[in-house]
Structures are given as structure tokens and as C-alpha cells.
């Protein structure tokens, strides 16, 4: 059977992928971007502040919020959603100048999101074998996190950004050819 249970609660592929709780965060991001195309946020500072506060409160006080994956994704996803709505509107309403490093970090954020779990997994294995036990775990976590973010940024610069530029150029050229053909009455 296509969706046969492999073990308790495991639907198997592709159902595990399709119904993964993390997809809620992706859908919230897409929904927010689409909504912001045609709407304004009335109180951007309030949204930004409440979103960050809710996220931080869930992080600090919500010990069991992630016991049920969909609840964890909903709590963190909705709080991030509210914060980002406020942040985007705040940015749209003001002439903000970002430091180039922050602009790069923002542009690379999706690549970081995609790459960091694998980078952390690989780095944790390497660091656990090479680092003496006397090194504080906090230092190891900070080191591994920074390297994982750097890996995501490298992925953005080396793969994602060039591929995006190539795709845009290719699609723009094809659209332009199609418009010229339509204007000439050629199929």
C-alpha cells in the first residue's frame, strides 16, 4: 500500500513529506508574502513586538510546546509570521538602509534555513570526535551554529544566487521572444 504505516505514527514517504508539520511554516511564509502584496499592516511596530515576544515566550517558557509537532510549528510559525508582517511593513514605510552584511544575511535566509540542519548534523559528528571534553558545550554550540549559518550563506552565494540570476535571464529572454512573436503574429 502506498501510505502504509512503517512504525507507530510513521506514514512513510511521500505522506510523511506532504503532511510534515514544518510545511505549515512554509505555507505561512508564502501566505504572508501574498497577503502583503495587496495589503498594509496597520500597526507594524505592534505586530513586530508581539511576534517577537510570543516567539521568545514560547522558546523560554514553552517546554512542551514541541511535544506535538503541529502545535510547535503553529506556535513558532504564527509568532514569526506576525513578527515578519510587522517587520516588512515597517521596512516598506521607511527608507531603511541595511548594512550590506545584514542584506546578505536576509537574502541568504532561505538557503540558511535549508542548509543548516544538515550542516549542524555533520558538524556535530565532526566536533564531537575532535573536540576535547573540557571545551564547554555552549562554546561548541555557538561554533557549530555559526559554521552552519556560514554554510547556508556559502550555498546562497555559490549555488542559489547564480541559479536564480540564470533562471531570471532565461525566463525573461523567453518571455521577450514570445511577446515579439505575438506582436508579429507568429506562433
Provide the residue ranges of all domains of the chain, joining segments of one domain with +.
Answer: 1-96, 98-187
At residue 119, the pLDDT reads 94
Model pLDDT, residue 62: 85
* Whole-number Å distance between alpha carbons of 24 and 78: 9
Q: Can you give the pLDDT at residue 187? A: 54
Nearest to 112 by CA among 79, 145, 148: 148
- Are the C-beta atoms of 21 and 70 separated by less than 8 Å? yes
pLDDT of amino acid 166: 95
CA 172, CA 165: separation in Å to the nearest integer? 10
Q: What is the pLDDT of residue 2?
A: 44
Instruction: Please give the pLDDT value at position 174.
Output: 84
Residuewise pLDDT in 10s, the chain (187 residues)? 444 444 556 677 788 777 888 888 889 989 999 999 999 999 999 999 999 999 999 989 888 888 888 888 899 999 999 999 999 998 888 866 778 998 899 899 989 989 999 999 999 999 989 988 888 989 999 999 999 999 999 999 999 999 999 999 999 888 888 777 777 765 5
Residues 6+ apart with CB under 8 A from 24: 70, 73, 74, 77
Amino acid at each position: 500500500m502506498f501510505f502504509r504505516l512503517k512504525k507507530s505514527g510513521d506514514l512513510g514517504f511521500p505522506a510523511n513529506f506532504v503532511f510534515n508539520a514544518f510545511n505549515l511554516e512554509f505555507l505561512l511564509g508564502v501566505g504572508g508574502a501574498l497577503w502583503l502584496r495587496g495589503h498594509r499592516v496597520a500597526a507594524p511596530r505592534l505586530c513586530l513586538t508581539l511576534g517577537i515576544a510570543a516567539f521568545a515566550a514560547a522558546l523560554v517558557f514553552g517546554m512542551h510546546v514541541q511535544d506535538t509537532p503541529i502545535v510547535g510549528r503553529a506556535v513558532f510559525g504564527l509568532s514569526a509570521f506576525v513578527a515578519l508582517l510587522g517587520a516588512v511593513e515597517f521596512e516598506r514605510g521607511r527608507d531603511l538602509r541595511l548594512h550590506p552584511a545584514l542584506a546578505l544575511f536576509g537574502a541568504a535566509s532561505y538557503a540558511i534555513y535549508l542548509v543548516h540542519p544538515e550542516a549542524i548534523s555533520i558538524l556535530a559528528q565532526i566536533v564531537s570526535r575532535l573536540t576535547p571534553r573540557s571545551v564547554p558545550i555552549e562554546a561548541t554550540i555557538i561554533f557549530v551554529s555559526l559554521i552552519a549559518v556560514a554554510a547556508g550563506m556559502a550555498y546562497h552565494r555559490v549555488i542559489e544566487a547564480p541559479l536564480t540570476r540564470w533562471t531570471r535571464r532565461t525566463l525573461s529572454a523567453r518571455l521577450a521572444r514570445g511577446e515579439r512573436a505575438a506582436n508579429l503574429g507568429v506562433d
